[in-house]
Chain A
Amino acid sequence: MLLSIQDLRVRFRLGRERGLVQWTEAVKGVSFDVPENTTVALVGESGSGKSVTAMSVLNLLPDNAERSGRIDFGGRDLLRAGLAELQSVRGREIACVFQDPMSSLNPVFSVGEQIAEPLVRHLGLRRRDALRKAEALLAEVGLPEPRRRLAAYPHELSGGQQQRVMIAMALACESKLLIADEPTTALDVTIQRQILELLARLKERHRMSLLFISHDLGVVGEIADRVVVMRHGVVREQGPVERIFGAPQDAYTRALLACRPRLDDPPARLAVIDDHLEGRADARAGATAAAKDPQAPVVLQVRSLAKSFRIRQGLFGGREFKAVEGVDFELRRGHTLGVVGESGSGKTTMGLTLLRLHEPTSGEVIFDGRDLLKLSGPERQAMRRRIQIVFQNPYASLNPRFTVGQTLLEPMQIHGIGGTTAEREQRARGLLQRVGLEAAAFGRYPHEFSGGQRQRIAIARCLTLQPEVLILDEAVSALDVSVQAQVLNLLKDLQDELGLSYVFISHDLAVVRFMADEVLVMKDGRVVERARAPDLLAAPREEYTRRLIGAVPRGWRPAAA
């Protein structure tokens, strides 16, 4: 056994209250093993303690953490190891790859120096030899032109390339264990696919073990040999990947597997973890989606929308950067238009341009017979009410100094909806209940809510204006799978009840398949393909679309095992 964790407990000191030290327990007695040459995946939602567990191995936790239990690595108890001993293990025998490669690399050192550093320190190589080794490592992780890349600085590389550099650094000392903490979460699906393949290949070649932390069961099913499912700091279930995916024993595991939208044949509603755990089956969960009226009136028509930014070059010169170019689509009442593409494809810019949060360069947006882009003053203000937007990050899109009530009342005050304050408050409370929050939420501040709840508040804020079109800009991307399922269900319900039309922007094809009737595929600011959602997945015409679909992690499949 390479690494053996026994009854690990981690708690964090929260400060004093009335003279008593307050603690919060993040990991409550976790035990599992990582055998040699094996990939073990730690799966769980945020707050499950998976990262804390993994970071405890090398004691990369904040100072206010306290650990107990036993972490056995090659016959040594790392929990009781001193700093000097830990430092000899860190990077040398156990290496780490983190979620965000941009912030994990030091921006002021070249890539070559950063890879060479552990080689010089741990292996005692001379600088020249270390750089030569670094070049070989970069070649191994599949970075083109490795010799030139040695002198490159992190900002000159793309996110995927940065993650490759991080992996090269982790490989540098030929460690026996690689801890990868959500290594692909910040990356596009296509890049994620490449990194996953790279990790699997390297594990085989170097005969090392991988402790892979992820919230995404699809990814885990593809890469792991063994899976440990965690929730609230406790291991719910662990076992070989075939058993976890083929015959899950624990109700939570089953629920996690069920609430993830699938690419093929999506149901009308997604299963929700709590329902699953309590054995309540949603009556509507199994049914397939009811067909929508294809002749519904068109609410939003967009013709050759374009947005370009001017990039300064030299003293007076400039260059046009076309972020969005020639986008056409029409959106019918009660329908959902999915917009997919890799990061940098112009999806979000397109959404913001529709609302004129970015001023478009050219094009027409016809809404209710009027060109939105030509309106000004009060007319524009009135139209603004009818198209609303929900942003990706629920932690950033609510003003932290406003109570939920203030947040909901403000749009009504601006647009004079509801005559009196009492009336507005009543509406706001009604909407809070409608999106599934208690009325008591009215007086609270955003920081008291979880991500999913905040996203509900953001949706309620949009609804105060009774909009007809909602632009959902990666609205569920930052949420856990189970919460994602709840919010997606809520959006579907609202659409059915209120006849809302959605522009659903997402990088996640499975979610888009669940929500959208029609899908736009964007690449470099242009629409490369536009088709009905089932058709697009069944028979993609463009090579780019095929690549996107092919890159979606599909979890564990019996045939592949």
Chain B
Amino acid sequence: MSAVLASSASAAPAVARSEGVWSLAWRRFRADRVGVASLVVVALFVLLVIAAALGLVARDWQREVGVPSAPPTFVGPAPKVESVIAAPSGPLVDLSDVDPLAPKYREWAERAAQLATTEAPRRDTLPFGGDRLGRDVLAKAVKGSEISILVGVTAALLATLIGTVLGALGGFFGGRVGDFLEWVYNVFTSIPGILLVFAFAAVTGRGVTSVVLILGLTGWTGIYRLVRAEFIKHAVREYVRSAEAIGASAASRMFRHILPNVSHVVLVQLSIHVVGFIKAEVILSYLGLGVSVDQVSWGTMLAEAQSELILGHWWQLAAATAFMAVFVTAFSLMTDALRDALDPKLRGLE
């Protein structure tokens, strides 16, 4: 053996690595116009989120800059509504004789005049309208994007992590481990989803972290099943057997050999869950179980919009919906393109 090697070991030029699976997938992704366009949209949103987090935009979203429920600029200011109660027609009755505070009014008026009030004039209209406190809806939507997307992505990462690790263990080892995990899975899925979310919410209380935990801890089941199925399939493949034959440990076989081969499933599930969790956060906040009152998310905006809509103030609903719809649609399309790019079965068909 050593003789064989000695004779041929002389030449060891640096060999360029061939194009890997990922760069191939990237090339296919780039060829997909819809995919690239949606990627750009998603990237813009990510930039927006970063800018909002750094306070570059929408920092003072809580300032009440407009009149309450200021309509959007393009609609024009709300017509001045005359008082519903008709003004009395006759002369006002002088009550000074019976009013014990009457002598003080003059003094108070003088003192009040000495104080400089700094209240800025409220604007009649805002670019995309204001809420019932007169806060700029556009700034709220931008700030809301930050929370909603952050919650969606972190919760999806958490759920994917839990689902992938448990799925890998269950699928790879099977037997007792697999049975136990199946049992856990069955318990989780046997409870109606929304009930489970309520139960978690009751325990953890409100806040961004709670929402992430709630969604992550309840949303891993689908990923678990898919990853488990992939691991069951791959665990008996010959390349995994070969790895076992050369003495690779179980962990190495699971995460070094099999995981890269099923990563497309995980990645696609991750993106699907980002979309799902953003929507779930909206529902949670709408129901009052989401982020706390001093924060804003698309969900809280929608919850507020409910009462505004009766008064005909549609702009908050429209802003939140538009932001969410654009982001979710772009993200879903990007996910589709990603799946197509990563799916080895679709190669060569364009």
Contacts and interface: CB of A to CB of B under 8 A. Distances in A.
26 contacts: A15-B348, A15-B350, A64-B348, A388-B245, A391-B241, A391-B242, A393-B238, A396-B237, A396-B238, A396-B239, A397-B242, A398-B242, A399-B260, A400-B239, A401-B21, A401-B261, A414-B248, A415-B247, A427-B5, A429-B8, A434-B5, A440-B15, A458-B242, A465-B246, A466-B1, A498-B1
A326 to B, nearest CB: 25
State which size class the interface on B falls in: 20 to 34
Given A357-B244, A425-B12, 7 more contacts: A16-B350, A393-B238, A414-B252, A439-B11, A444-B18, A461-B246, A462-B246
Given A439-B15, A445-B20, A430 B5 contact: yes
Contact of A414 (B31, B238, B246): B246
Contacts of B12: 425-426, 429, 439
A239 interface: no
A330 interface: no
A398 B239 contact: yes
B248 A430 contact: no
Contacts of B238: 391-393, 396-397
B5 A399 contact: no
Nearest to B349: A64
A64 B244 CA distance: 40
A448 interface: yes
User: Which residue among A401, A410, A425, A431 has the maximum number of chain B CB atoms within 10 Å of its CB?
Assistant: A401
A47 to B, nearest CB: 15
Max chain A CB contacts within 10 Å: which of B1, B17, B257?
Answer: B1
Nearest to A433: B8
A70 interface: no
Contacts of B18: 403, 443-445, 448
Nearest to A412: B246
Count chain A CB atoms within 10 A of each CB in B1, B5, B242 and give the residue with the most: B242
B4 interface: yes
Contacts of A393: 238
B9 interface: yes
A389 interface: yes
A484 to B, nearest CB: 18
B8 A434 contact: yes
A396 B240 CA distance: 9
Interface in A375-393: 381, 384-385, 388-389, 391-393
B5 A400 contact: no
Q: Report the contact-size class of chain A (Cβ under 8 Å from the partner).
A: 35 or more
Given A403-B17, A442-B15, A443-B15, A389 B31 contact: no
Contacts of B8: 429-430, 433-434
A220 B246 CA distance: 40
A498 B4 contact: yes
B11 to A, nearest CB: 6
Residue picked from A389, A399, A410, A411, most chain B C-beta under 10 Å: A399
Given A442-B15, A445-B20, A381 B5 contact: no
A445 B21 CA distance: 9
A534 B45 CA distance: 75
A543 interface: no
A15 B348 CA distance: 6
Nearest to A380: B247
B16 interface: yes
A16 B33 CA distance: 14
A212 to B, nearest CB: 29
B288 to A, nearest CB: 46
A408 to B, nearest CB: 10
Contact of B17 (A355, A384, A410, A443): A443
A458 B4 CA distance: 18
A410 B237 contact: no
A357 B20 CA distance: 30
Contact of B245 (A389, A403, A427, A431): A389
A465 B8 CA distance: 17
A223 to B, nearest CB: 33
Interface string B170-209: 0000000000000000000000000000000000000000
Interface string B6-38: 011101110111101100000000010000000
Residue with the greatest number of chain A CB neighbours at <10 A, chosen from B16, B247, B260: B247
Interface string A461-473: 1110110000000
Nearest to B20: A445
Interface in A187-236: none
A430 B248 CA distance: 23
A440 B243 CA distance: 23
Nearest to A396: B238
A15 B349 contact: yes
B284 to A, nearest CB: 38
A497 interface: yes
A385 B244 CA distance: 11
Contact of B9 (A355, A384, A426, A497): A426
A426 B21 CA distance: 25
A19 to B, nearest CB: 11
Contacts of B1: 463, 466, 498
Nearest to B260: A401
A390 to B, nearest CB: 8
B21 A429 contact: no
Contacts of B245: 355, 357, 384, 388-389
Given A16-B31, A397-B242, A448-B18, A427 B4 contact: no
A14 interface: yes
Interface string A413-452: 0110000000001110111011000011011110010000
A142 to B, nearest CB: 35
Contacts of A445: 18, 20-21
Contacts of B239: 396-400
Contacts of A462: 246
A6 to B, nearest CB: 29
Contacts of A402: 257
A39 B21 CA distance: 45
Contacts of B13: 439
A410 B11 contact: no
A461 B245 CA distance: 11
Contacts of B20: 401, 403, 445
Nearest to B261: A401
Interface in B228-283: 237-239, 241-248, 252, 257, 260-261
- Counting from the closest, the 5 A-B pairs by CB-CB distance are A411-B246, A397-B238, A15-B350, A443-B17, A401-B260
B243 A399 contact: yes
Most chain-B Cβ atoms within 10 A of its Cβ — which of A352, A426, A463?
Answer: A426
Contacts of A465: 246
A14 B4 contact: no
Contacts of B17: 403, 443-444
A384 B242 CA distance: 12
A465 B239 CA distance: 17
B242 A427 contact: no
Interface in A1-39: 14-16
Contacts of A426: 5, 9, 12
B271 to A, nearest CB: 20
A20 to B, nearest CB: 13
